[in-house]
Amino acid sequence: METRIHPAAHVDKEAQLGAGVEVMPGAVVTKWARIGDRAVIHPGAVVGGDPQYLSFDSATPSYVNMGKETVVRESVTLNRSMHEGQATSIGERCFFMACSHVGHDCIVADDVVLANNAMLAGHVEVGAFTFVGGGAGIHQFCRIGPVGMIAGLARVTKDVPAFCMVAERDELTGLNLVGLKRRGWSREVIMEIKENYRAVLGEVGNPRPRAADRFAAAESEPAKTFLKFFEGGKRGFAQPVRPASG
């Protein structure tokens, strides 16, 4: 499969491009970029630019690794790692809409969508099949669990549990039920996730111990994924503004 680099695109000779990659006019792919098969990079995008870190030495060898079939639209910026030998990681089949940004050392899983102007600060982790709405901003070191939904213009400064929706400033608004159904999970699995959501997030306070208490009894892998998310993180968790109902 032929790789296409259009006129007026800039691709450094040290960049690594897989089969069938298309780089459109005005796009920039630096020597620090590692691009998977059949990815598409639209005009004005910059893949592998320096991290936005004041004391960074641009001679530091670090990377952006981008999976196959990911689409990078106009004026998107994907920054490389600030650490020598390390990489910002972008999964497969992601879709970054115009002017969205992925900061240094982020880990973005497969099938993630960032809408126009969505912004990930450095060291953010985003789980698979998550949608980040237009203009949303994610604070550094936050984690967003898989199958999440971040509303447009949301400000996220805390971790968003797996399968959950967040709006405004860290306001957990419930489970992403549409996303759960799209995963093809059975009614029984979704009901188990709902029960754990209510048990873990239905009370004020630290949800970690409640999640830990329920983990051993979890039956399905998705329910275990939801509960295990509470083991990690440094920034606390987004929680409902009202009692959790799922």
Q: Tell me which of 122, 127, 133, 179 is the catalytic residue.
A: 122
Can you read off the two tokens belonging to residue 18? 């897989």
Can you read off the two tokens belonging to residue 228? 């295990």
- DSSP assignment string, the chain: ---EE-TT-EE-TT-EE-TT-EE-TT-EE-TTEEE-TT-EE-TT-EEEEPPS-TT--TTS--EEEE-TT-EE-TT-EEEPPSSTT-EEEE-TT-EE-TT-EE-TT-EE-TT-EE-TT-EE-TT-EE-TT-EE-TT-EE-TT-EE-TT-EE-TT-EE-SBB-TTEEEETBTEEEEE-HHHHHHTT--HHHHHHHHHHHHHHHSSSS--HHHHHHHHTT--SHHHHHHHHGGG--SS-B-EESS----
Q: Tell me which of 42, 101, 104, 123 is the catalytic residue.
A: 104
Can you read off the two tokens belonging to residue 193? 């996730």
Q: Tell me which of 26, 91, 101, 105 is the catalytic residue.
A: 105
Q: Answer for the pair 87, 108: CB distance below 8 angstroms, yes or no.
A: no
123 counts as catalytic? no
139 counts as catalytic? no
105 counts as catalytic? yes
Check residue 181 and give left, alpha or beta (phi > 0: left; psi -120 to 50: alpha): alpha
Rg, the chain, Cα only: 19
- Residues carrying an active site annotation: 104-105, 122
